[in-house]
Amino acid sequence: MFTYYSDLKPRALVLGLVGIALVGMAALIGIPSNAQATRFHNAPETAEQKNPYAGNRQAAEVGGQLYASNCAGCHAVNAQGNGNVPALASGPTQSASGGEIFWYITMGDLNNGMPSWEKMPPEQRWQIVTFLKALGGSNAAQLKLNARQADNQDDADLPQPKAPFTAYRFEEPGKFRKITLADLPAPYVTKSAANAPQVVTRPPDAWPKAPVGFKVEQYAEGLDNPRLIRTAPNGDFFLAESSTGKIRILRGLNADHKAAQNEVFAAGLNRPFGIAFYPPGPDPQWVYVADTNSVVRFPYRNGDLKASGPAQHMADLPSGPGHWTRDVRFSPDGKTMFVSVGSGSNVDDPDTTPAEKNRADILAFNIDGSGMRVYASGIRNPVGLAIDPDTGELWCSVNERDGLGDNLVPDYITHVTPGGFYGWPWWYMGGHQDPRHAGKHPELKPKVITPDVILQPHNASLEMTFYERQQFPADYRGDIFASEHGSWNKSVRAGYEVIRVPLHHMGHATGEYEDFLTGFVVNNRSVWGRPVGVTVAHDGSLLVTDDGSNSVWRVTYTGSLSDGMPSSQ
Q: What is the pLDDT of residues 512-538, one digit of tens each?
A: 999 999 999 999 989 999 999 999 999
Q: What is the mean pLDDT of residues 33-37?
A: 39
Among candidate residues 370, 367, 288, 297, the one with its CA nearest the CA of residue 327: 288
SS3 content of the chain, % helix, strand, coil (to 5): 15, 30, 55
218-to-230, 266, 549 alpha-carbon distances in Å: 17, 24, 11
Instruction: Tell me how many degrees the CA angle 187-193-195 measures, rounded to the nearest 5.
Output: 150
13 vs 560 pLDDT, higher one: 560
Q: Which of 45-49, 121-125, 452-456 has the highest mean pLDDT?
A: 452-456
Spatial distance between the Cα atoms of 434 and 401, rounded to a whole number of angstroms: 10
Q: What is the per-residue pLDDT for 78?
A: 62
Q: What percent of the chain has pLDDT over 70?
A: 83
Q: What is the per-residue pLDDT for 447?
A: 97
> Beta strand pairing status for 214-220 and 198-199?
unpaired
Q: What is the mean pLDDT of residues 219-229?
A: 97
Among candidate residues 83, 7, 53, 63, the one with its CA nearest the CA of residue 532: 83
Spatial distance between the Cα atoms of 288 and 311, rounded to a whole number of angstroms: 9
Spatial distance between the Cα atoms of 240 and 248, rounded to a whole number of angstroms: 6
In a 10 Å sphere around its CB, with 0-12 CB exposed, 13-18 middle and 19+ buried, how is residue 93 labelled?
Answer: buried
For the chain, the maximum distance between any two Cα atoms, rounded to a whole number of angstroms, is 67
Look at residue 37 and tell me whether its pLDDT is greater than 50.
Answer: no
Check if the beta carbon of residue 182 is closer than 8 Å to that of residue 403.
Answer: no
Domains of the chain, first to last:
10-134 (1.10.760.10), 174-557 (2.120.10.30)
